[in-house]
């Protein structure tokens, strides 16, 4: 009897060990499963050479680190602001069966066919910073770009006391961000009878091109009282040309976006003002919006962030 009990006890012990092992193995499997990335989100910006979009990419990396459920693949065209390359990136994302695409379009109209392909594949699309002119968009996250232009234009006109000759450096033709801001600036200028807009030209968001445009303007116009640039990259290019011509003290400059280069220009007295649109927040909110939608939550289709016009006095 003792022998039977002993054998039975051994059998029960073995079963208990197996059960514990199975339980532990199941727990390990559950833990491993919990650590797996559930969703793959593509984050596509316009350029790898723009401080603004590098800042957005930092926020995307932070979002990837903060949420265990997602992997964020950061992509950009090799040629800055190239819409054809962006379209190819979207198509590759569709082929790779990503769960969501977050993209700041280089061209609001040109990107439509790619977004429609993502729609057809059932992949939700979020656009931070720049709107698309078509296709089904889950959410836009950013500032109201018309208001950006209007507020910056009004700030420059007020600084000049409502009198003077000004110039406007646009972004890229066909880009909603540039076109809306440009329209806002021009509408603001109309409110000031003493302000004359001498010229307005696109720069393709390119710093070197903006420097060339400014050099040409400095040779063309004897009296320039103010210059407004729609982003800080082209703003800094314009400032280089103005400094080289020795006319920095005569021209009031306002641009858009805040970083260390802009703050340095504030402190040196080369730049009067700039607008802050919180680009890191745009990227982070856009990616999390895609995640929440994938999890079945309702997301606002138009998420507008506040704009602040900052002047050099803030950094003295």
Q: Which of 189, 238, 197, 246 is nearest to 214 (CA)?
A: 238
Domains of the chain: 39-143+279-306 (3.40.50.2300), 145-276 (3.40.50.2300)
- pLDDT, tens digit, for every residue of 220-268? 999 999 999 999 999 999 999 999 999 988 999 999 998 889 999 999 9
Q: In the chain, pLDDT over 70 holds for what percent of residues?
A: 88
Q: What six digits make up the tokens of 12?
A: 């029960």
Confidence band, pLDDT 50/70/90 cuts, at residue 175: confident
CA 40 – CA 73 distance, rounded (Å): 7
Q: What six digits make up the tokens of 275?
A: 């607008």
C-alpha dihedral sign at 263, 266, 271, 274 = positive
- Does the pLDDT at position 35 exceed 90? no
Decide if 184 contacts 150 (C-beta within 8 A).
yes
Q: What six digits make up the tokens of 313?
A: 């006095």
- The whole-chain average pLDDT of the chain stands at 89
Q: Which of 224, 281, 279, 240 is nearest to 256 (CA)?
A: 279
Q: What six digits make up the tokens of 83?
A: 């819409």
1-29: average pLDDT = 39
- pLDDT, tens digit, for every residue of 91-122? 999 999 999 999 999 999 999 999 999 999 99
- pLDDT, tens digit, for every residue of 39-78? 999 999 999 988 889 999 999 999 999 999 999 999 999 9
285-313: average pLDDT = 94
What's the chain's length in residues?
A: 316
CA 24 – CA 134 distance, rounded (Å): 52
Q: Which of 252, 231, 229, 257 is nearest to 168 (CA)?
A: 229
Among 17-31, 195-209, 295-309, name the one with the lowest average pLDDT.
Answer: 17-31
- pLDDT, tens digit, for every residue of 134-145? 999 999 999 999
- pLDDT, tens digit, for every residue of 73-92? 999 999 999 999 999 999 99
CA 47 – CA 75 distance, rounded (Å): 9
Pairing state between β 273-276 and 308-311: antiparallel
152-157: average pLDDT = 97
| Helix, strand, coil share of the chain (percent; to 5) | 50, 20, 30
Determine phi and psi for 232, rounding to 5 degrees. -70, -25
């Amino acid at each position: 009897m003792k022998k039977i009990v002993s054998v039975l006890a051994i059998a029960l012990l073995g079963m208990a060990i197996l059960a514990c092992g199975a339980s532990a193995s199941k727990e390990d499997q559950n833990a491993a499963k919990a650590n797996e990335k559930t969703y793959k989100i593509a984050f596509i910006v316009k350029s790898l050479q723009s401080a603004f979009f590098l800042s957005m990419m930092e926020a995307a990396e932070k979002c990837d680190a903060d949420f265990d459920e997602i992997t964020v693949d950061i992509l950009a065209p090799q040629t800055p602001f190239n819409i054809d390359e962006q379209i190819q990136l979207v198509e590759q994302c569709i082929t790779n069966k990503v769960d969501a695409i977050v993209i700041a379009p280089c061209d609001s109209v040109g990107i439509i066919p790619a977004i429609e392909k993502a729609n057809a594949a059932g992949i939700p699309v979020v656009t931070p910073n720049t709107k698309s002119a078509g296709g089904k968009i889950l959410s836009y996250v950013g500032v109201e770009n018309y208001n950006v232009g209007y507020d910056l234009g009004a700030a420059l006109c007020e600084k000049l006391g409502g009198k003077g000759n000004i110039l406007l450096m646009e972004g890229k033709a066909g880009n909603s961000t540039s076109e809306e801001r440009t329209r806002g600036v021009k509408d603001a200028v109309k409110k000031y009878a003493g302000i004359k807009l001498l010229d307005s030209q696109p720069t393709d968001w390119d710093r070197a091109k903006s420097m060339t445009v400014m050099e040409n303007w400095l040779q063309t116009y004897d009296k320039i009282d103010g210059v407004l640039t729609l982003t800080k990259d082209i703003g800094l290019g314009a400032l280089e040309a103005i400094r080289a011509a020795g006319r920095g003290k005569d021209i009031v400059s306002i641009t858009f976006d805040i970083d260390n280069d802009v703050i340095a220009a504030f402190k040196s007295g080369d730049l009067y003002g700039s607008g802050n649109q919180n680009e890191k927040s745009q990227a982070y909110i856009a990616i999390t919006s895609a995640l929440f939608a994938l999890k079945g939550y309702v997301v606002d289709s138009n998420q507008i962030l506040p704009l602040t016009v900052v002047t050099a006095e803030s950094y003295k």
